[in-house]
Structure 1
Amino acid sequence: MDGEGSGQRQDERGLFALAVARVDLPPAIKDPTQPPAALSPDRLPMVSRRAPAAKRVRDRLVHAQAQAASAVQLEVDRGGAFLLVPVLLCAGAAIYFALYVEPGWMPLASLFFLFAAVTWMAREVAPAKYLALAALLLLGGALLGKVETWRADTKVIGGEITTRLTGRVETIEARENGRVRLTLTVMATERPKLRYQPDRVRLTARSVPKGLEPGAVVTGLARLAAPLGPLRPGSYDFAFESYLDGIGATGFFLKGPEVVGETATAPLGARFQAWIEAHRIDLAGRIRSHITGPEGEIAAALVAGVRGGIPEDVNETLRITGLAHVLSISGLHMALVAGVVIGSLRLGFAAFPGFASRHPVRKYAAIGALVALAAYLLISGSQVAAERSFLMIAVMLVALLFDRAALTMRNLAIAALIIVVLSPHEVVGPSFQMSFAATAALVSA
């Protein structure tokens, strides 16, 4: 019994014993009579520590990779990856407009379809799929920029020339120095007749016929030149904006233009635009009649978007103080209009408690704000900054109609996505960048 029990205990100890590596010790260590102090360092056993350190580093890398993959998958499941879609599209558009050489359709389209195929083939491999999708979105942004450039297709005059120009008046802007700036849709040129005739021009005249209205057809001897580029490296590029606005030439009338046609002969779209422009001018005139001086000009700029009458010293003061952007109708003005309309309507509905308790008055107020914003966009001239701000606020108001939170990062991403699709060149402007950066900071705070 004792032998059997002792054998069983020995087997159990053997099963759970630790495996100890045997190391051949030097003779000095095997001799118990020799003191340890007599050993020299070069006679100690060599134990390699490189393998355990490399294994620890490898394990840490694998662990970090697993954590990163888990975090990415969590964001994808939460829908956070959608926020990167407009960011990558904007980055692609910015890269396209920053290139020194215009890329052709074939390279961009080939790369786009190539990465689309790579994204499809790597759909089961998370890291490769996300990298390919990011490259695909960057190329998509570049393609959007290419499409916008192709869509503009502005005919820019090659040099300075004097010609008799006939065109339809789009906008009339009175300047502070007494001159008038006209934006014209070119209908014909003669003496000489331009073979590469621009479609739209912006000309300054010393005087215009009395009662001149948008939509009228005028003719006159004009000096034309290509739009100016940046005055210094890295400054504002007038030619870039003019090209995308369809302005192929700028200049001035050598002699005041004469009216040769009426608005009634214009196409329907031109007549509607002329009607809106006439109401803008009338509204600005009414404001100036009640508020005189520079204050009236600033009020006309804030309400009707007519900024030509602001004195130059006032403009310079606003530039120095960093407040010049306040005169440009953008997010601040749109938000004020929407807030005033929503607040007024909610206050009015609150006066009728029975109606307010039975109906979704918040949605009614949002619809009223949308209508007011659309009217303000038209009456203010539909500038690019105003259109962008209108889209941003419209997305948030539509979210209210569907009982969703208005001010969220997803709504901001949707607004950015719409803008980069409709007008990709906006992403390189400071107005777009400041608007979305400030809104994103407020939402995430």
Structure 2
Amino acid sequence: MWGLGWRLSSGPPKGKQVAAVWGYLARALLLQRGHLFGWAPVCLGTGIGIYFLLKIELPLLAYGGLALLILACLGLARLLGQAAAPLAIGAALILSGVILAGARAHSVGGPVLTWRYYGPIEGRVVGIDRSASDAVRVTLDQVRLRDVSPQRTPDRVRLSLHSKLAGAEPLPGLTLGATGHLSPPSGPVEPGGFDFQRHAWFQRLGAVGYTRVPLVALAPADGAQPMFAIRMALSAHVQAKLPGETGAFAAAIMTGDRSGMGQETLQALRVSNLAHLLAISGLHMGLLTAFVFATLRYAIALVPWLALRAPAKPLAAALALAVAVFYLGLSGGSIATERAFIMVAVMLVAVMLGRRALSLRAVALAALIVLCLRPEALLGPGFQMSFSATTALIAVFGWIQKVDLPKAPRWLRPAAAVFISSLVAGLATAPFAAAHFNQIAHYGLIANLASVPLMGALVMPAAVLSVCLLPFGLEGIGLWVMGLGLDWILGVARWISALDGARGMVVSPDAWTLPLLSLGTLTLILWQGRARIVGVVPMLIAALLWSQARRPDVLISDTGGLVGVMTPAGRALSTPRGDGFIAQNWLENDGDVAAQEIAAERWTIGGTGPGDTIITAARGKRGAAAITGCGAMEWLVLNIDPPDSLSIDPGCVVLDPERLRHTGAIAVYAQGPDAAPRIVTTRQSRGARLWTAR
């Protein structure tokens, strides 16, 4: 009896328990045969994410060890059975992601400016865009700086043009000169925030700055970037034919050049959730190639002799692929455009081979190629939003085809498809847009329903028509039709963005929210069988983490020029002007719609920090001179070196530029009335990486 009772209470021996669990997992993995390729980019992306989470840079010997582990995993996959082999291959992909990201980070490395520079700047134009302050920006390579050796000169610099006087127009390949200010790329505005230094490292930007004097042409364009020159020439031609924001919108769609668009228009498009129409992504690439494919196929069908002898679908697919290649080069090849091109190319090749054109395998293949080319894309909103939308759309429409739903009338099906597409894409991208941009477009579905059909039925066909008529000087016909559609879309954007409550602000989530949400969603989509419901668990955890996200009680900028203290009314800022970019980011991350001037009105003479600590902020020599001393329970934040006359009591904390250069931006979290506050610096949150070496 005692022995029987022991067996019933303790269950089988541990070895049998492990075998039973493994048997269940093996059966589950065997059921996934033929559906595991979708997990390949997930595993590769996991390894890339691990690389960027590291606090130290791996030595060369560590990469060699990882390569040996990959070989061991691949060898183990050959020895294991069909059930266990995918686990070994997945581990190999994760390790490959770490190596891939590390190799990319080392390959793009170059000199980074470590001091503030003022003087002559010379370089060749390789990029033209517009800054957040609505100024034209140029990216220069072949840079030359006065009294700076070539070994210390950045490979590329980016210069905002603030001159009010006419000068040389920046053109592709033109060598320009100006006198301006340059500084190193700045770090995150707060610990855990967007790391512009890392972004600039992968863009090969070694310095950013501005000039207030006219540009001077030093050498003519060298013709080394023909596609860039064609893109900017076509953009200028389109904007000359269609003046104003309509022409700038048309140029952005046709060439990827957004330098002509004003910030008010961009903001209206973002608030109305129509900004995706600007990016040359799946919508544009798909509409363009679909139009070319359908036009050629129907043209062949109209000629009976040719239709009986020529393979219409493969020929149409080949021409559409050639157009897609040209469009990719013309657009400048952003991450979203690369993803869209790869997806379209896979689909068109499948059509030429008589295979299924659109599937989750195609999405997975596109993700693998993008991650191999640019591993850093994983961290950007473009990659996350474009792939989340595409994956969700294919999964939902695939489910609709499998489920026996009532058939809608033929005339209603296009409208139903647009509605479902807009709804699914909006829901799929909303968490990523909210996490990266801290806003939700409440009326985005309405705006997309009123704009996306017009984009496909009128704007893109008119764009193709205008390009076809360009050699004959008749492009104005297509551009006029295109302008009608774009005027409507801009009108919708302005109307929607002006509605009360059009934009909702949300608090920034912590670092684990989006990975958990993505894992749960991918499990629901990719896993086969009832066990996919397990994906709901990480999604619920992510939602809980986001709802409980806590913002720092005190934020201090890395320059010492701005302090933000959380109050019941929102974050109080120490100054109404200056450090506007930092202030805007802090308030947006708080989910606060207030402007810097309003937030500064919340500030008292001394902000109250954790544990009744008084935080005093002083800007410039005049502000520092007004401070006579610093007490025991006081933090003094300065953007200049403290004056010699300053009286500092024991227990006072002085944060001056010298100290903040070592720590970066600082976040302080209150731990309770009797506990010391938790202090997090940017240096602690990032560690020692290639892009933080300075």
TM-score for both structures, normalised by structure 2: 0.52
Question: Displacement, 1:176?
Answer: 10
Structure 2 residue 30 is the aligned partner of structure 1 residue 73: yes
Match of 1:209 in 2: 167
- List aligned pairs for 1:251-400, cutoff 5 A: 251-263=209-221, 266=222, 271-273=223-225, 275-400=226-351
Match among 34, 42, 60 for residue 105 of structure 1:
60
Distance 1:165 1:57, change over 3 A: closer
- d(CA) in 1 for partners of 2:3, 2:30: 42
- d(CA) in 1 for partners of 2:386, 2:345: 15
Q: What are structure 1's unaligned runs of at least 5 residues?
A: 1-44
Is the Cα contact below 8 Å between 2:168 and 2:217 reproduced in 1?
no
Distance 1:295 1:104, change over 3 A: same
The number of equivalent residue pairs is: 392
Distance 1:281 1:175, change over 3 A: farther
Is the Cα contact below 8 Å between 1:276 and 1:378 reproduced in 2?
yes
- d(CA) in 2 for partners of 1:176, 1:120: 51
User: Helix, strand or coil: the match of 1:339?
Assistant: helix
Distance 1:106 1:213, change over 3 A: same
Is the Cα contact below 8 Å between 1:395 and 1:411 reproduced in 2?
yes
Match among 158, 161, 172 for residue 114 of structure 2:
158
- d(CA) in 1 for partners of 2:197, 2:363: 30
| Structure ranking higher in helix proportion | 1
CA distances 1:160-189 after superposition (whole Å, capped 9, x unpaired): 111322211223447798853221113422
Distance 1:140 1:320, change over 3 A: same
User: Helix, strand or coil: the match of 2:36?
Assistant: helix
Match of 1:7 in 2: none
- d(CA) in 1 for partners of 2:170, 2:232: 11
- List aligned pairs for 1:18-37, cutoff 5 A: none
- d(CA) in 1 for partners of 2:259, 2:73: 53
- d(CA) in 1 for partners of 2:179, 2:220: 20
Is the Cα contact below 8 Å between 1:163 and 1:192 reproduced in 2?
no
Is the Cα contact below 8 Å between 1:224 and 1:251 reproduced in 2?
yes
Match among 144, 149, 167 for residue 123 of structure 2:
167
Q: Judge which range, 329-338 or 375-384, deviates more.
A: 375-384
User: Helix, strand or coil: the match of 1:239?
Assistant: helix
- List aligned pairs for 1:100-139, cutoff 5 A: 100-117=55-72, 119-121=74-76, 123-126=78-81, 129-139=85-95
Question: Displacement, 1:143?
Answer: 0.5
Is the Cα contact below 8 Å between 2:111 and 2:151 reproduced in 1?
no
- d(CA) in 2 for partners of 1:87, 1:357: 45
Question: Displacement, 1:437?
Answer: 2.3
Match among 124, 127, 136 for residue 180 of structure 1:
136
User: Helix, strand or coil: the match of 1:221?
Assistant: strand
- d(CA) in 2 for partners of 1:188, 1:320: 41
Structure exhibiting the larger radius of gyration computed from Cα positions: 1
Question: Displacement, 1:60?
Answer: 8.2
Match of 1:90 in 2: 45
- d(CA) in 1 for partners of 2:74, 2:133: 59
Is the Cα contact below 8 Å between 1:163 and 1:191 reproduced in 2?
no
Distance 1:373 1:272, change over 3 A: farther
Superposed CA RMSD in Å reads 2.8
Is the Cα contact below 8 Å between 2:180 and 2:212 reproduced in 1?
yes
User: Helix, strand or coil: the match of 1:154?
Assistant: coil
Match of 2:353 in 1: 402
Match of 1:140 in 2: 96
CA distances 1:186-210 after superposition (whole Å, capped 9, x unpaired): 3422245565110111112225634
Match of 1:41 in 2: none
CA distances 1:113-151 after superposition (whole Å, capped 9, x unpaired): 135225425643347654443222111001000111111
User: Helix, strand or coil: the match of 1:162?
Assistant: strand
Q: Judge which range, 55-64 or 137-146, deviates more.
A: 55-64
Is the Cα contact below 8 Å between 2:47 and 2:96 reproduced in 1?
yes
Question: Displacement, 1:98?
Answer: 2.3
Distance 1:152 1:178, change over 3 A: closer
Is the Cα contact below 8 Å between 1:176 and 1:309 reproduced in 2?
no
Question: Displacement, 1:291?
Answer: 2.4
- d(CA) in 2 for partners of 1:440, 1:176: 31
CA distances 1:67-123 after superposition (whole Å, capped 9, x unpaired): 4323423434x3x33332221011101111122222222213203313522542564
Q: What are structure 2's unaligned runs of at least 5 residues?
A: 400-694
- d(CA) in 2 for partners of 1:382, 1:352: 37
Is the Cα contact below 8 Å between 2:123 and 2:140 reproduced in 1?
yes
Q: Which amino acid is the alignment partner of residue 276 of structure 1?
A: M
Is the Cα contact below 8 Å between 1:163 and 1:193 reproduced in 2?
no
Match among 400, 404, 415 for residue 366 of structure 2:
415
Q: Judge which range, 312-321 or 244-253, deviates more.
A: 312-321
- d(CA) in 2 for partners of 1:48, 1:346: 76
User: Helix, strand or coil: the match of 2:4?
Assistant: coil
- d(CA) in 1 for partners of 2:229, 2:2: 94
- d(CA) in 2 for partners of 1:292, 1:342: 31
Match of 2:550 in 1: none
- d(CA) in 1 for partners of 2:250, 2:201: 30
Is the Cα contact below 8 Å between 2:44 and 2:94 reproduced in 1?
yes
Q: Which amino acid is the alignment partner of residue 335 of structure 1?
A: G
Is the Cα contact below 8 Å between 1:298 and 1:307 reproduced in 2?
yes
Query: Quick one: percent identity of the two aligned structures?
Result: 33
TM-score for both structures, normalised by structure 1: 0.79
User: Helix, strand or coil: the match of 1:170?
Assistant: strand
- d(CA) in 1 for partners of 2:173, 2:388: 39
Question: Displacement, 1:244?
Answer: 0.9
Is the Cα contact below 8 Å between 2:168 and 2:216 reproduced in 1?
no
Q: Judge which range, 363-372 or 430-439, deviates more.
A: 430-439
Q: Which amino acid is the alignment partner of residue 198 of structure 1?
A: P
- d(CA) in 1 for partners of 2:134, 2:72: 61
User: Helix, strand or coil: the match of 1:385?
Assistant: helix
User: Helix, strand or coil: the match of 2:23?
Assistant: helix
CA distances 1:277-309 after superposition (whole Å, capped 9, x unpaired): 332222222222332322222222121212122
Is the Cα contact below 8 Å between 1:85 and 1:137 reproduced in 2?
yes
- d(CA) in 2 for partners of 1:69, 1:233: 42
Match among 205, 226, 242 for residue 247 of structure 1:
205
Question: Displacement, 1:318?
Answer: 2.2
Question: Displacement, 1:217?
Answer: 1.6
Distance 1:155 1:210, change over 3 A: closer
Is the Cα contact below 8 Å between 1:204 and 1:252 reproduced in 2?
yes
- d(CA) in 1 for partners of 2:236, 2:130: 11
